[in-house]
């Protein structure tokens, strides 16, 4: 069994996965970082060289590999659940936790991350908070459908989020 964290970029998946891993004494892994390591280049460079389709093909392989592990906390990329192959790879392999945040919170967090510009491309011509709103509108049904647990992360720090996830998993007997 694993625990999978899903949500939009900037929702805190990477940081929360580390905190949750520490609380459980499980390894944590960030699928996007793993993908970059395997590719030897940033997501932005993968998009520039081969477009989103090249990135999504690599993502499918990485998620398939990560989902086969046991007792890991895995932070998936923001768009990972858009592909049925990825949804099938994580189905039945452990609880899925959606870290949900408002577009304004996500925008502020993304802008505060000094690595955003060098590692992550805009996904639409809009960019900014308008891009986030547009993509959230598209992705929310998939996030909702995949999630066993949803945590509103707007006003919580990573430690509070991790503790809330553990409490929810325990209460629902998912851990």
Helix (H, G, I), strand (E, B) or coil at 93: coil
**pLDDT over 90, % of the chain:** 82
Residue 172 inside a domain? The answer is: no
75-79, 149-153, 171-175 — which is least confidently predicted? 171-175
Residue numbers of the domain that contains 106: 3-166
Residue 175 inside a domain? The answer is: no
Q: Which residues contact 78 (CB under 8 A, 6 or more apart)?
A: 7, 8, 9, 11, 135, 139
Averaged pLDDT, 45-68: 94
Instruction: Quickly tell me which residue has 């870290």 as its tokens.
Output: 99
Residue 56 inside a domain? The answer is: yes
Q: Which residues contact 67 (CB under 8 A, 6 or more apart)?
A: 2, 4, 74, 89, 90, 93
Give the pLDDT band (50/70/90) at residue 165: very high
Q: Is the pTM of this model over 0.75?
A: yes
- Number of domains observed in the structure of the chain: 1
| Domain at 115, CATH number | 3.40.50.300
Residue 47 inside a domain? The answer is: yes
**pLDDT at residue 174, as a whole number:** 85
Strand residue runs (E) in 40-156: 73-75, 96-100, 149-152
b/e burial code for range 52-71 (CB count within 10 A of at least 16 → b): eeebbebbeebbeebbeeee
Residue 22, pLDDT > 60, answer yes
Per-residue pLDDT reduced to its tens digit, 38-55: 999 999 899 899 988 999
Mean pLDDT of the chain: 92
Residue 152 inside a domain? The answer is: yes
**pLDDT at residue 167, as a whole number:** 96
**pLDDT at residue 93, as a whole number:** 97
Per-residue pLDDT reduced to its tens digit, 99-122: 999 999 999 998 887 665 655 555
Give the pLDDT band (50/70/90) at residue 35: very high
């Amino acid at each position: 069994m694993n625990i999978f964290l899903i949500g939009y970029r900037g929702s805190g998946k990477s940081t929360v996965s580390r905190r949750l891993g520490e609380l459980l004494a499980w390894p944590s892994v960030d699928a996007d970082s793993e993908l970059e390591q395997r590719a030897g280049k940033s997501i932005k460079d993968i998009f520039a060289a081969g477009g989103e389709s090249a990135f999504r093909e690599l993502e499918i392989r990485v998620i398939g590999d990560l989902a086969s592990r046991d007792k890991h906390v895995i932070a998936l990329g923001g768009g990972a659940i858009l592909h049925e192959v990825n949804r099938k790879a994580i189905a039945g392999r452990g609880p899925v936790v959606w870290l949900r945040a408002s577009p304004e919170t996500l925008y502020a967090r993304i802008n505060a991350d000094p690595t955003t510009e060098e590692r992550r491309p805009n996904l639409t011509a809009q960019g900014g908070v308008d891009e986030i709103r547009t993509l959230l509108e598209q992705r929310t049904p998939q996030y909702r459908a995949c999630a066993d647990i949803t945590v509103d992360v707007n006003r919580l720090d990573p430690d509070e989020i991790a503790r809330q996830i553990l409490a929810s998993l325990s209460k629902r007997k998912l851990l």
